[in-house]
Amino acid sequence: GAVVSQHPSRVICKSGTSVKIECRSLDFQATTMFWYRQFPKQSLMLMATSNEGSKATYEQGVEKDKFLINHASLTLSTLTVTSAHPEDSSFYICSAYRRNQPQHFGDGTRLSIL
Amino acid sequence: EDQVTQSPEALRLQEGESSSLNCSYTVSGLRGLFWYRQDPGKGPEFLFTLYSAGEEKEKERLKATLTKKESFLHITAPKPEDSATYLCAVQASDDYKLSFGAGTTVTVRA
């Protein structure tokens, strides 16, 4: 199956720090990448949709200034959590998508803000 | 709004004890229904896509079926390595986003 690489896998940092998470589609060009957040024992909640070369579309209730998304190429999207606080601690997962194919997911980033 | 409900929340099975997971959905025109497997601390791994009622897909001990209102994931003679959370998601015909259910956590004891 398709391979999506997400880095880093785990981040622990102090409150107020900005954290960047990378998502790479390794073996296909993804027209769209998605960013999800997952709380313990809950399902995936879509945060934003990222299309190459255009601004991301954020779901209702997601602060675009807090969660900055850049989609510079068909194989790379980044999520930056700005001025992170303990309530931003979560499991963040990206996926890569192209038309008529299923979404393929990265292995997630566990973010812990102290 | 698309809705996906999975049941049961958790399922404990003895090795070899077959069972089924349910995914009920409402969507404004179904483009596809997806099953994923998620291991702890990992991202979801794609299993199946079903597109229309009556369709069935199989992979090893897993078989997915689809009706107009629900999908079932049948696990035949499960092994401990089948222990995972199984997620169901739907994609509407006018969108490319996925709406996920909360998942069924399956534990298979040896």
pLDDT for the residue A95: 96
Which is higher by pLDDT, A72 or A25?
A25
> Tokens 């393929």 sit at which residue?
A104
Q: What percent of chain B has pLDDT over 90?
A: 93
pLDDT tens digits, one per residue of B76-103 = 999 999 999 999 999 998 888 999 999 9
Read out DSSP for B68-110? Answer: SSEEEEEE-S--GGG-EEEEEEEEETT---EEE---EEEEEE-
Chain A residue with minimal CA distance to B102? A43
Mutate to test the interface with A, among B97, B99, B105, B106 (most CBs of A within 10 A): B97
Which residues touch B75 (CB under 8 Å, ≥6 apart)?
B13, B18, B19, B20, B21, B61, B62, B82, B106
pLDDT tens digits, one per residue of A84-102 = 999 999 999 999 998 888 9
pLDDT for the residue A48: 95
pLDDT tens digits, one per residue of B25-47 = 999 899 999 999 999 999 999 99
pLDDT for the residue B109: 97
- Chain B residues with CB under 8 Å of a chain A CB are 32, 34, 36, 41-46, 49, 87, 96-98, 100-103
pLDDT tens digits, one per residue of A27-79 = 888 889 999 999 888 889 999 999 888 889 999 999 999 999 998 888 999 99
> Using a CB-CB distance cutoff of 8 angstroms, which residues of chain B are in contact with residue A99?
96
Residue B108 pLDDT > 90: yes
> Do the Cβ atoms of B87 and A34 come within 8 Å?
no
pLDDT for the residue A1: 60
Q: Residue A30 gets which letter from DSSP?
A: -
pLDDT for the residue B6: 97
Mean pLDDT for chain B overall: 95
CA neighbor of B73 nearest in space, from B34, B21, B25: B21
Amino acid in the structure at residue A65? D
**Residues B43-59: what's their mean pLDDT?**
96
